[in-house]
Every structure is written in C-alpha cells, then in structure tokens.
Amino acid sequence: MSDRHALAVALGPVSSFIAAGRRSRDLWYGSRFLSEVTRIAANALEDQGVELLVPLPGQLHTSFLAPESYQGPTISNKILGILATDKVAPRDVLRATERQVRASVAKEMKRLLDDPRLVRVIVRDYVRKQAEAIEHGDFVEFYAAWAATRSLLVARPRGPSPRRPPSGLACPRARWIPDATRC
C-alpha cells in the first residue's frame, strides 16, 4: 500500500502587489497574474499525479493569457492536493512544480521582447535580465508543505480531556484559554 501525502502550496507575492498598486487596474492585473501563476502550478501538480482538492479541476483550463481571458475564472493563490507517493517523493514533485512555474513566468517575460507593440517602450536588456532573475528564484514566491495523511489521522491528542476552568472564569461562547483570569 502506498503512502499518501497532503500537499499545500501558496504562491505570491500578494502583499507587494497590493502595496505597489496605485490604481484599481494594478490590483486587477496583480490578481489575474497570481491566478495564472497558480493555474500553471496546479496544472503541473496534476500532471505529476497529484489529485487536486483546491482549485477545482474545471477552473484550470481557462488561461489568463488566452484572448477574452478577462471573462475566465480567477482562482486563489492556494493549492491543496493529495499525492500517492509510491514512486516519487513530495519534495521532488514540489521542486519540479516550482521550476516549471518560474520557467513559465520567465518565458512570458521573454515573449515581451518579441511583441511589436512594445518595441519603443521596453528596455530589452532590462527585460532579459528580469527574465533570468525570475528563472533563478526572484519574484515568484513559492511556499509548500506536505504531511503524510496517516500521521494527520493518528496525530490527534490521546488521554483524558483537558481540565475545565473554574466556573467563575468560564466565558460563554468563547474558547477557554488555560490560566485565563478574564474573558
């Protein structure tokens, strides 16, 4: 029987997009960009045998880069999935996904060099250096974690129930905090 691992991936940079946004279109583009990066990562995970829980598989087939993409769904920058690890380790799957995401973003950056509409407004050396920096780990933040599903099921606390607070300290509708003296 193969072990199964739960995978969690978060992509960014969310906060720097929000901080850098001066207009609503900046925020819109940042959101769409993160959706596309997440879509690339989710597709890469799915190609490696990960059963995706979030985002839903139906959300992965409309690309932000396609014409009329503004009508497609946006997805969260979080990915959750299950990997049956009989042949490959979760670390290897996640590293390969990270490399594929960075390569895709760098490729799109390099495509700007060939766009005839941008010939007069971009500095070619700067775009080329940015694409290389993205390939080597700059710009796209990729955070990932995994855990064996067996350990998730077994890791619940065992033994007696935690002690209850004295009746004078109990807070209705609130969770009890050990050694709390007030609500």
Residues 131-169: tens digit of each pLDDT: 888 888 878 889 999 998 875 555 455 555 555 555 554
- Give the domain ranges of the chain: 4-154
User: What is the dotted CATH code of the domain comprising 4-154?
Assistant: 3.30.70.2220
Residue with tokens 């060939």: 114
Fill in the DSSP letter of residue 1: -
CB 43 within 8 A of CB 76: no
pLDDT above 50: residue 67: yes
- The most confident of the ranges 20-34, 43-57, 61-75 is 43-57
pLDDT above 80: residue 115: yes
Closest CA to 81 of 108, 105, 50, 122: 50
pLDDT score for 78: 94
pLDDT score for 161: 55
